[in-house]
Structure 1
Amino acid sequence: MQVITGIYFFYMFVSIYFLILVVTLYLQNRKDIFFSPQITRNYTLSVVIPAWNEEKTIASTIEHIFASDYKGLLEVLVVDDGSTDNTFKIAKSLTKRYKNLIVFTKSNSGKANSVNYALKHAKGELVSVIDADSFPEKSAFSKMIGYFDDLQVGAVTATCTPKNRNTLLEKLQTIEYKIIAFSRKLLEYIESIYVAPGSLSIYRKKALLAIGGFDPKNITEDIESTWHILSEGWKVRMCLSA
């Protein structure tokens, strides 16, 4: 009984501690939580889309990226990771419409290897990694890239929510994602963002190269790369308005 009581009080202490931390961080920074730095110059941006059996969404993802209002978009690199469906064929067909769309295909070896493969070919100062079923808003890149004026910023992430919000479960999931995004923004103020999700993040290419790219042996490569970037002295930022 004493053990159960001890566990109860431990969790109560931890819960109260984090509640106080969250409230304090919010009150101290509430004026700029949704702030996005203005872009002072157009950094060249390479967008990387690792894809495996994404024939249903790959075209829409590519179209959303090219609809971006960011003027520094240099290229979009799709890496087909040995898909067994029409992912490569669909992506390749879009190169007729988009001249700076480059599509690669290789044997299946996982997302991290696909990103690293594209990184060898990317020419941009910044590299965005986007899942093949993500659909970034038109202004997403423009809102995120201003953070890179701080030369210590190695990565910037954004708010990601489910596309479908019709059922109760989907609506609850949307709320969950927004809470997670809000918590990441608060963690920014104590330099503790733990992940730049693969659904949409932008990296300074120099920072990615400094850590050797993504770790193919790690199943949570986006978490590992974020921790690695932080350990090398870079900052990670969260754009809540993107």
Structure 2
Amino acid sequence: EALRQEVSDLRVKLQQARAEAAEAGNLRNLLALRDRSKMPTRAAEVIGTSATPEFRTVTIDRGSSDGIQRDMAVVAPAGAVGRVVLSSRGAAKVQLLIDRSAAAAVMVQRSRAQGIVFGTGEPLLRLDYLSTTADVQNGDVLVTSGIDGIYPEGFVVGRIETLERVGGTFKTIRVRPAVNFSDLEEVLVVLALPAPTEPLDSASPGGVARDRPAGGTLDSASRGALDKAQAPASPPAPAQAPGGVIR
């Protein structure tokens, strides 16, 4: 009996050690991302998730007292996570890219073709507002283009998983997000958009793609769709506990 208990205790300790090693690895990746991005950021821990699938959000343990404001971009080592939609003194709510009202301006890393990804409330994103002549293929990687005023340029968004054309026009393009939204623990909040820098080259691991888009504007239809998608959402108003923590 004593031997069984000892084996059980050792298994528990092994699981704890593995969890601590995984957490340490996540933190190292986060610090590496912060150093590579060369932008002012604030590290935050995910402390809660949305209760309904209608609004795909998470709550982080940093708020207005830490400089967190509405519409700041949130990223992780794997890529773009979402944007801040509500900030109280001690916490903030982040709308994930998979939220059905989320959107971001993106470009195809390989061809620089530009478009907009929209959340669907489901695991896959939808890519739209592409030129009819855009060079887009299954498996292409999408990165933020930096022209929507929220997401800095170069963060990986996802990879095109399905692409359907009808009469030479793109009908349905689905994108597999780079971030595993069901396993978010630590993130970085980008406190300000960076000033233009020298051209960047090649893709860097950990979410920041070192490429610069061709052009830098959206046409009126794309801008209108993006502005509409990024307008303030109307989730149920969260209760606020003492100390500013959003429940």
Q: TM-score range by the shorter chain?
A: under 0.3
Bigger relative contact order, structure 1 or 2 (CA pairs below 8 A, ≥6 apart): 1
Q: Which has the higher strand share?
A: 2
TM-score normalised by length of structure 1: 0.27
